[in-house]
Amino acid sequence: MELQNTGGGNPSRRRGQGELEAQVLSALGRAPGPVTAGWVQDHIGGGIAYTTVMTILTRLQAKGAVARERVGRSFQWTPVADEAGLAAWRMKRLLDAESDRQAVLASFVTTLSPGDEQLLRKLLAEAPEDGED
């Protein structure tokens, strides 16, 4: 049985939805401004079908990661945050998908370098309490 080549380095490996979402978000992060789905398709490479790109963009919009604006008969797409914000959004979605948040957070913290742990402690100390702006 021969698997379809969906791009990338390994022709026998299919990309998962999360990987495609990450590629689309990365392309949008590099965009010069609002762009069409065709622009995204051209910039993620790998021979991804236009309809697949549209599906991923629509799912990302439903998740609140991208915004779209009608321009003529099509849409232009933009990320709702910069690269750091999108990375934080992805991390939060992963955390939200787990049932034991405390275990996940504890495991994450134990993998941090001492410098990253100190930075995290500093950021937490500076963060406003819930309900404050």
Examine residue 12 and state whether it is found in any structural domain, yes or no.
Answer: no
User: Any bridge partners for residue 79, and if so which?
Assistant: 66
Domain edge (last residue) among 62, 79, 96:
79
Q: Residue 103 CA to chain centroid, in angstroms?
A: 23
- pLDDT for 69 equals 97
Examine residue 65 and state whether it is found in any structural domain, yes or no.
Answer: yes
Examine residue 5 and state whether it is found in any structural domain, yes or no.
Answer: no
Contact 78, 31 (CB under 8 A): yes
Contact 90, 102 (CB under 8 A): no
- pLDDT for 93 equals 82
Q: What is the pLDDT along the chain (133 residues), one digit of tens a residue?
A: 333 344 444 444 566 657 888 899 989 989 999 999 999 999 998 789 999 999 999 999 998 899 999 999 999 999 998 878 878 888 888 888 899 999 999 999 999 999 999 999 999 999 888 755 4
C-alpha dist (Å) from residue 66 to 33, 80, 98, 118, 130: 12, 5, 23, 32, 26
Same domain, 74 and 22: yes
- pLDDT for 81 equals 86
Same domain, 69 and 57: yes
Domain holding 73, by residue range, is 17-79
Percentage of the chain modeled with pLDDT above 90: 55
In terms of C-beta density within 10 A (0-12 exposed, 13-18 middle, 19 or more buried), how is residue 20 classed? buried
Same domain, 65 and 93: no
Total domains in the chain come to: 2
Q: Domain with 28 in it: what CATH number?
A: 1.10.10.10
Q: Write out the two tokens for 99.
A: 């049932």
